[in-house]
């Protein structure tokens, strides 16, 4: 597909008054951001690539995310950090989530489960912090599955109470 596919999709979504949440990387991500995206979900490597610099600290991660948010091009950044958990950055707050203590079996589907659970939770009308907590639990739940599937909802909800979310 063309590099501007997601940018075209974002434009259509906004024209229809719909939210546009995006999980991609590289040129397609950068191009879509130029047209406005409500939420992006980069991992740390993707965020570094997007920013064009090393982003070696949490403060750097937040500053890079806020640069896109303050430009009006991105509403929220859900930054996945692998075994370090995740951050959720908006214009006026940054949240850090530590994952529950689990023994990972496979990393396949963790990022998709993380982001999918956030989108699902927000679509249900949950608060952003609650959606973020469920997202981290879902990403963790995917890690305890063998194979290439996404998380099991029952596992995600079971792990939710074990996710620590704190303001940064």
Per the residue annotation, which of 49, 112, 126, 130 is the catalytic one? 112
C-alpha to C-alpha distances, 23 to 3, 37, 87, 94, 143, nearest whole angstrom:
14, 10, 15, 19, 19
SS3 91: coil
Does 112 qualify as catalytic in the annotation?
A: yes
Contact between 133 and 160 under an 8 Å Cβ cutoff? The reply is yes
Is residue 106 exposed (0-12), middle (13-18) or buried (19+ Cβ within 10 Å)? middle
Pure H helices in 16-127: 26-35, 44-51, 58-70, 110-123
Q: Which residues are catalytic?
A: 112
């Amino acid at each position: 597909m063309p590099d501007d596919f997601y940018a075209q999709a974002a434009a259509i979504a906004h024209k229809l008054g719909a939210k546009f949440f995006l999980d991609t990387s590289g040129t397609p991500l950068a191009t879509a951001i130029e047209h406005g995206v409500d939420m992006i979900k980069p991992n740390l490597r993707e965020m570094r690539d997007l920013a064009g610099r090393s982003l070696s600290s949490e403060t750097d991660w937040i500053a890079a995310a806020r640069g896109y948010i303050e430009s009006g091009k991105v509403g929220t950044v859900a930054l996945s950090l692998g075994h370090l958990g995740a951050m959720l950055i908006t214009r006026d707050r940054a949240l850090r989530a530590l994952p529950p203590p689990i023994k990972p079996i496979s990393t396949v589907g963790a990022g998709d489960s993380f982001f999918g659970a956030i989108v699902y939770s927000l679509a249900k009308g949950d608060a952003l912090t609650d959606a973020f907590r469920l997202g981290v639990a879902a990403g963790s739940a995917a890690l305890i599955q063998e194979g290439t599937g996404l998380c099991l909802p029952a596992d995600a909800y079971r792990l939710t109470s074990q996710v620590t979310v704190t303001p940064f």
